[in-house]
């Protein structure tokens, strides 16, 4: 799904879409590169290229396939009042993303593995589908037999650094959490432009 080194992909797409790129070192590198690019600025970017870049940012940020993103976009466009909010809600509600947002995994990729390998339970039942759409009041917990795993040794520190969003709750002692409300879309926090993604798929 991911082609090439992550740093190069981040530089090519112009965004810290992988956790590996969300560092001060990468930010400084990008700032220096930005100054060089401004000196050698070429022609204006085409609409298609801009749309393609935003689509790739979204797809790679959530670690999903082209087919999955295409389906999410198609389903979200049915919500004519606010398709962007509907799309981001679907992406954020994926179980692998919820596990990541709760701080149970350092990256979305690791969160996807935790779910696939059966370490996570939803409403008391073992769930192995990363794309499962978590709903309001769903209980998300680490499976009892997995709590002693090295995967969760530094959980307290991980949760502290995770900046848990307001629509989620986690109880460290129980290594469990809850989806309180539907994910809230904040355009200022997005690493991509959903409108450009809709334009790409509307061609």
20-74 per-position pLDDT tens digit: 666 555 555 655 655 555 455 556 889 999 999 999 999 999 999 999 999 999 9
* Domains contained in the chain, CATH given: 6-38+45-90+192-201 (1.10.1050.10), 94-179 (3.10.290.10)
Q: Is the pTM of this model over 0.85?
A: no
pLDDT of residue 159: 81
Report CA Rg, the chain: 18
Examine the pLDDT at 122 and tell me if it is beyond 70. Answer: yes
Average pLDDT of the chain, as a whole number: 85
pLDDT at 3 over 50: no
Close Cβ partners of 55 (under 8 Å, ≥ 6 residues apart): 69, 192, 196, 197, 200, 201
Residues 136, 181 contacting (CB under 8 angstroms): yes
pLDDT in tens, 169-189: 999 989 999 999 999 877 777
User: β-strands 139-142, 168-171: how paired?
Assistant: unpaired
């Amino acid at each position: 799904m991911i082609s090439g080194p992550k740093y190069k992909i981040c530089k090519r797409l112009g965004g810290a879409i992988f956790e590996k790129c969300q560092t001060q070192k990468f930010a400084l590198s990008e700032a220096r590169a930005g100054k060089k690019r401004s000196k050698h600025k070429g022609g204006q970017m085409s609409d298609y290229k801009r749309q393609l870049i935003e689509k790739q940012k979204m797809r790679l940020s959530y670690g999903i396939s082209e087919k999955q993103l295409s389906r999410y976009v198609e389903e979200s466009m049915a919500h004519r009042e606010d398709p962007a909010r509907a799309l981001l809600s679907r992406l954020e509600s994926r179980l692998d993303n919820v596990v990541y947002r709760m701080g149970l995994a350092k990256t979305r990729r690791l969160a996807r593995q935790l779910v696939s390998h059966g370490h996570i339970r939803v409403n008391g039942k073992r769930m192995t589908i990363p794309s499962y759409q978590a709903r309001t009041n769903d209980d998300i917990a680490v499976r009892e037999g997995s709590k002693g795993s090295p995967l969760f040794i530094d959980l307290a520190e991980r949760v502290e650094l995770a900046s848990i969003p307001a629509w989620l709750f986690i109880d460290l002692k129980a290594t469990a959490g809850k989806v309180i409300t539907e994910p809230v879309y904040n355009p200022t926090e997005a690493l991509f432009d959903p409108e450009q993604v809709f334009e790409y798929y509307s061609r």
